[in-house]
Chain A
Amino acid sequence: MPTVPFRHLAALWVQLTGTWCNLECAHCINASGPDDPWLKPLDPGSTRRALDEAERLGVKEIYFTGGEPFLHREILPLMEDALRVAPTTVLTNGTAITESMADALAALASRTRYTLEIRVSLDDVDPDANDRVRGPGSWTKAVQAIRRLHARGLLPIVTATEISGSDARTGRYERFRDFLVRLGIDKPRLKIMPVFALGRMAGGDGERLSQDALDGFDTGILQCSDTRVVADGGVFACPILAGLEGARLSTGSLEDSFRSVPLYHTACVTCYRTEMSCRNS
């Protein structure tokens, strides 16, 4: 099985709410939802220990994900702790970004040394197309969140997948940019992600990478070379595979996970082909 050597810790991801979410998106990579989560939320103590260790190890960025991280009861204090260590990004569906939460985030961003980034998921500029993937009412709430954050100068990164309008991949960037500008977002920020064949999209032909595929390929492009994920049950290779046994690299410290990663999953083929990263840029 091909493997990717570890280079350094650029990004620490924290699977804060496990797979606990208030939406059930059709393409969710870890099948998150409101029912009893198969991957449990992290307790605040484990999160803080991971942040401390990551700081000592020279981490560059921290990401909070889930599930929906804003469902975690200690989300704000944990974000503040993370922002003492490194620039921090939270990935959200936007449903919990009320006016008062947006105020709290703006206040937090103004008092921290490092930048706070909020990524709001929206899969289509068309409400119906979006809600077919993300659930009824999700477009309205996400757009509301984008507006609230923008109004406070927080410049959210709108994150879309290539799930909807699959025949119109070309121009997706432009359509989102034009849409955001029409909303009054004068500094539109976008990230577009491929769809992965796992979670609710599991299936396909089960293709795996061979060692030959890596000949002459710079494995440093793959995020598992410089990213680790702390989730319930250990430290995992990447945000796509967090919680899966085959991607678990350590049940102890973060540093114990600094070893080669087996490219065992069909999702690794997607990363290899698209050279994508879950990071902001």
Chain B
Amino acid sequence: MSAGREMEQGRECRRIAVMGGVYNNWAALQALLEDARGRSVDAIFCLGDMGGFGPHPDRVFPLLREGGVLAIQGNYDESLASGRTDCGCGYTDPRDNHYARVSYRYTYQHTSTENKRWLGSLPPRRRVKLGPYRLLMCHGSPRIINEFLWESATPDGLVRSFLAGNEADVILCSHTGIKWHRALAEDRHLVNVGVIGRPENDGTPRVWYTILTAGPDLGVEFVPLVYDHETLARAMEAEALPPEFVTTIRTGWWTTCLENLPARERSRSRF
């Protein structure tokens, strides 16, 4: 990790909105920007992966820029910006790999050079002061951009080592697509903020983002976002994206890329 590329947020915040994985879902991003503005946040952050899965990648960039969203790079963004031939998700299941390739190829072909350049300009991590809390924002984990931190598979000892090794009180990450929060002793936290690009495998089409508030304790609120998912689903169909992806948007159940789910999270899923 190059220290020069880690972004320091100058001003101190009291209340922030944080989202993960936009996955080309401009409809959810629009809904989030309206919702978060109504909640008096000081800033809106995105933990990367702007592309993949959904239709019309270039629609999300003006929304991010005009909305003043402070973003970091996800593995998808890193791959797009550097011209890699795959998303860097690292699947081994041939079926998952097939869908990952379809998704990446579509996003690569439909993302403008200017927007790829913008993705390349994003920092891989960001530090923010939220009241007394030192926040470290990353995409997968503080050490690896595409590391999965699932709730059932992230030990307290690992979280403690991340916090101590990065001089942080709170680590914010995303990448897995399912939100969770772990509070440890001495007011230390890890929060996986979830994603807004696709539902979180819970059988509903809503997506989630996170509001963090500095108070006597750290306030962590997961915010459900109901948006016009049907418009997105129709746009996916019009772009001939895989029907399996469209099913996920409509039903809330993941149909692909399930191989990395630990047994506990997988047992709650439909497929």
Interface residues in chain A, defined as those with a beta carbon under 8 Å from any beta carbon in chain B: 8, 54-61, 85-87, 109, 113-117, 153-155, 173-174, 177, 186-187, 189-192, 281
Inter-chain contacts of B143 with A (CB < 8 A): 8
Inter-chain CA distance A22–B149, complex, in Å, is 36
Which residue in chain A gives the minimum CB-CB distance to B262?
A115
Inter-chain CA distance A37–B77, complex, in Å, is 50
Q: In the complex the two chains form, is B266's CB within 8 Å of A187's CB?
A: yes
Q: In the complex the two chains form, is B94's CB within 8 Å of A87's CB?
A: no
**A-B pairs with beta carbons under 8 Å apart, 23 shown:** A58-B157, A60-B154, A60-B158, A61-B153, A86-B158, A87-B155, A87-B262, A113-B152, A114-B152, A115-B152, A115-B263, A115-B264, A116-B263, A155-B267, A173-B94, A174-B94, A187-B266, A187-B269, A189-B263, A189-B266, A192-B92, A281-B90, A281-B259
Q: In the complex the two chains form, is A153's CB within 8 Å of B267's CB?
A: yes
Does B160 sit at the interface, judged by CB under 8 A? Answer: yes
Inter-chain CA distance A177–B153, complex, in Å, is 24
Least Cβ distance of B84 to chain A in Å? 13
Q: In the complex the two chains form, is A58's CB within 8 Å of B158's CB?
A: yes
Which residue in chain B gives the minimum CB-CB distance to A110?
B264
Least Cβ distance of A150 to chain B in Å? 10
Which residue in chain A gives the minimum CB-CB distance to B260?
A281
Of B150, B267, B271, which is in contact with the most chain A CB atoms at under 10 Å from its CB? Answer: B267
Does B231 sit at the interface, judged by CB under 8 A? Answer: no
Which residue in chain A gives the minimum CB-CB distance to B267?
A153
Q: A8-B143, A173-B94, A187-B269 in contact; A59/B155 too (CB < 8 A)?
A: yes
Size of chain B's interface in residues, with CB distance under 8 A? 27
Inter-chain contacts of A116 with B (CB < 8 A): 263
Does B2 sit at the interface, judged by CB under 8 A? Answer: no
Inter-chain CA distance A262–B94, complex, in Å, is 32
Does B35 sit at the interface, judged by CB under 8 A? Answer: no
Inter-chain contacts of B95 with A (CB < 8 A): 173, 177
Besides A109-B264, A174-B94, A177-B95, 18 new A-B residue pairs in contact (Cβ under 8 A), listed by A number: A58-B162, A59-B155, A60-B153, A86-B157, A86-B158, A87-B153, A114-B155, A115-B153, A115-B264, A117-B262, A155-B263, A155-B266, A173-B93, A173-B95, A187-B267, A187-B271, A189-B259, A281-B259
Inter-chain CA distance A116–B264, complex, in Å, is 8
Q: In the complex the two chains form, is A281's CB within 8 Å of B92's CB?
A: yes
Q: In the complex the two chains form, is A85's CB within 8 Å of B94's CB?
A: no
Inter-chain contacts of B157 with A (CB < 8 A): 54-59, 85-86
Inter-chain CA distance A57–B155, complex, in Å, is 11
Interface residues in chain B, defined as those with a beta carbon under 8 Å from any beta carbon in chain A: 90, 92-95, 143, 150, 152-155, 157-158, 160-162, 258-260, 262-267, 269, 271
A-B pair number, CB within 8 angstroms: 72
Least Cβ distance of B214 to chain A in Å? 27
Inter-chain contacts of A186 with B (CB < 8 A): 271
Residue among A154, A177, A190 making CB contact with B263, cutoff 8 Å:
A154
Which residue in chain A gives the minimum CB-CB distance to B268?
A153
Q: In the complex the two chains form, is A58's CB within 8 Å of B262's CB?
A: no
Of B94, B265, B269, which is in contact with the most chain A CB atoms at under 10 Å from its CB? Answer: B94
Inter-chain contacts of A85 with B (CB < 8 A): 155, 157
Inter-chain contacts of B155 with A (CB < 8 A): 55, 58-60, 85-87, 114
Q: In the complex the two chains form, is B161's CB within 8 Å of A58's CB?
A: yes
Inter-chain contacts of A57 with B (CB < 8 A): 157, 161
Least Cβ distance of A79 to chain B in Å? 14
Which residue in chain B gives the minimum CB-CB distance to A281?
B260
Inter-chain contacts of B161 with A (CB < 8 A): 57-58
Inter-chain contacts of B262 with A (CB < 8 A): 87, 115, 117
Inter-chain CA distance A186–B253, complex, in Å, is 14
Inter-chain contacts of B264 with A (CB < 8 A): 109, 115
Top-6 shortest CB links A-B: A58-B161, A115-B152, A115-B262, A86-B155, A115-B264, A55-B157
Inter-chain contacts of B269 with A (CB < 8 A): 187
Least Cβ distance of A280 to chain B in Å? 8
Least Cβ distance of B202 to chain A in Å? 16
Inter-chain CA distance A177–B258, complex, in Å, is 13
Least Cβ distance of B181 to chain A in Å? 14
Inter-chain CA distance A186–B90, complex, in Å, is 24
Q: In the complex the two chains form, is A59's CB within 8 Å of B266's CB?
A: no
Least Cβ distance of B123 to chain A in Å? 21
Inter-chain contacts of A87 with B (CB < 8 A): 152-153, 155, 262
Inter-chain CA distance A177–B95, complex, in Å, is 10
Of B259, B260, B265, which is in contact with the most chain A CB atoms at under 10 Å from its CB? Answer: B259
Inter-chain contacts of A115 with B (CB < 8 A): 150, 152-153, 262-265
Inter-chain CA distance A61–B262, complex, in Å, is 11
Of B90, B93, B158, B260, which is in contact with the most chain A CB atoms at under 10 Å from its CB? Answer: B158
Inter-chain CA distance A273–B94, complex, in Å, is 18
